Amino acid sequence: YRGRGVRLAYAEGNRDLFVAHYFHGTLFDLASGSEIVLTRGSRRFVLVHGDRLNRIDYNYRAWNLLVRSEPVRLLLRNLPPGLILRASAALERKLRTTNRRFRTYFPHGQCERYARQQFGRGADTVLMGHFHRDLSIRYDNDGRCGGEVHILPDWLSCRTALRIDGQGCIRHVPRESTG
């Protein structure tokens, strides 16, 4: 796809450790552990996974700081891949039952606060995943910065990608036609 001008951007999420560290500029043209800002046409986009949006999910925030730390990266780099996969599968099963309060909750207020911060920095559109919903929200400029937020559905069940063309138009495209 790159030969046709397609660029791949990836914002790390809750299950992605060190993707940006190892794959920025290789597998992905743009990869970040936090957010990606890009301009297409006259529109400025912020791409963020969204897993750290909920400021009151203290357990997740502490866990996130630990697993993304440099000592953990160095440890994982030196362990056999098979051991890492088995340990991560076991950990995933164990964590699936924790923190249920925040798994079903969409933090509308925190989403709006984050989005308005980005709009104030010049963004027109915020794109995020994590919440596994297909949701679009428009924040009008009622004396504050306005713009739109698109929450993307999860890739595994929907098998769609988001495409932003050169003019800044966005659309969901099925996996088979992502090029």
Residues 49-91 pLDDT 10s: 888 888 887 877 888 888 888 898 898 889 898 898 888 888 8
> Are 110 and 118 within 8 A, CB to CB?
no
- Type of residue at 59: N
Residue 100 has pLDDT above 70, yes or no: no
> Average pLDDT over the chain, rounded to whole?
83
Question: Kind and range of the H or E element at 127?
Answer: strand 125-128
Considering only CA atoms, which of 29, 30, 32 is closest in space to residue 20?
A: 32
Range 98-103 contact pairs with CB under 8 angstroms and sequence separation of 24 or more: 98/59, 99/57, 99/59, 99/60, 102/54, 102/57, 102/60
Give the pLDDT confidence score for residue 176 in this predicted structure: 65
> Are 33 and 22 within 8 A, CB to CB?
no
Instruction: Quickly tell me which residue has 């090029």 as its tokens.
Output: 179
Q: Tell me the pTM.
A: 0.80
DSSP string, 95-110: HTTS-HHHHS---HHH
